[in-house]
Chain A
Amino acid sequence: MQEPSSVDTKLKEWLEYFREAKEVRRRYANWEFIRSQPPKVRVALEYYVETGDLYNAAKLAGMTMEEFNELRIKAGIPSIG
């Protein structure tokens, strides 16, 4: 059986890291705040919780990254991963 390469191992480690980061974001997010937002902002915040992708989340919300970053702080979502 072929030994897993160091690339495979690293990849697995990163996947696990991102999975854990998503769990942290989900756990700390203020879902009441998120659900109370207008659709565009709500979808963007939900996207951010799932992915941690500030760039595209800001684009979804129609905001600058800085503005969206302020918003995710208000929503209690930690920046992780």
Chain B
Amino acid sequence: MADAIADTSFIVDWVRYSKSELLFKVFNVVYMPESVLAEVESERSLIWISKGLERGVLAVLPELPDISREALNLVAKSRRLPVRPVDYPEAFCMVVGKRLNLVVLTENGGAVALRDYDPEYSGVEVWRGIDVLYALWRSGHINSFKDELKLYQQETKRTYSRRDLAKYGGAHGGQ
């Protein structure tokens, strides 16, 4: 199983999902940058994080000067383009994903887009909740990708676009 790094946008959604523990069927350890803890104050998120830390399936990744430098450059670079820029916490995750070969878990469109349009980050694996659900279905941990995706969208109030759904064969993909 691989390891991953998750940013706030992913965690805020994922903790609302009633089967959030399934994340650890896909990943050994999920890292969170320190900055994520600074952005989270709701009891639900904090309890989920603290239980994960207790079990050893979550870990905090501290600020690392070398990675911070590249992340700041990435933020500046993305702001020069007419598309949603990448904020520092997402940029940090993308750099870590590239350098340490971790899957980046994010729902931030700017980060997902970056991987698509910037050749320097095209090798980074970026997953959204929908991608985690698909992996869970492929590995037999959920029965129906379509039903689970519907439940996930309801519980998290996260809407995936036609393009996202088309990646998995539209709404009927992965039955």
Contacts and interface: CB of A to CB of B under 8 A. Distances in A.
Contact of B54 (A47, A59, A62): A47
Contacts of B42: 39
Interface in B33-64: 34, 37-38, 41-43, 46-47, 49-50, 53-54, 60
B34 to A, nearest CB: 6
A65 interface: no
Interface string B26-38: 0000000010011
B43 A60 contact: no
Contacts of A46: 50
Interface residues on A, range: 10 to 19
Nearest to A44: B50
Contacts of A39: 41-43, 46
Given A39-B42, A50-B54, A60-B46, 13 more contacts: A39-B46, A40-B41, A40-B46, A43-B46, A43-B47, A44-B46, A46-B50, A51-B53, A51-B54, A56-B53, A59-B37, A60-B49, A62-B38
Interface of B: 34, 37-38, 41-43, 46-47, 49-50, 53-54, 60
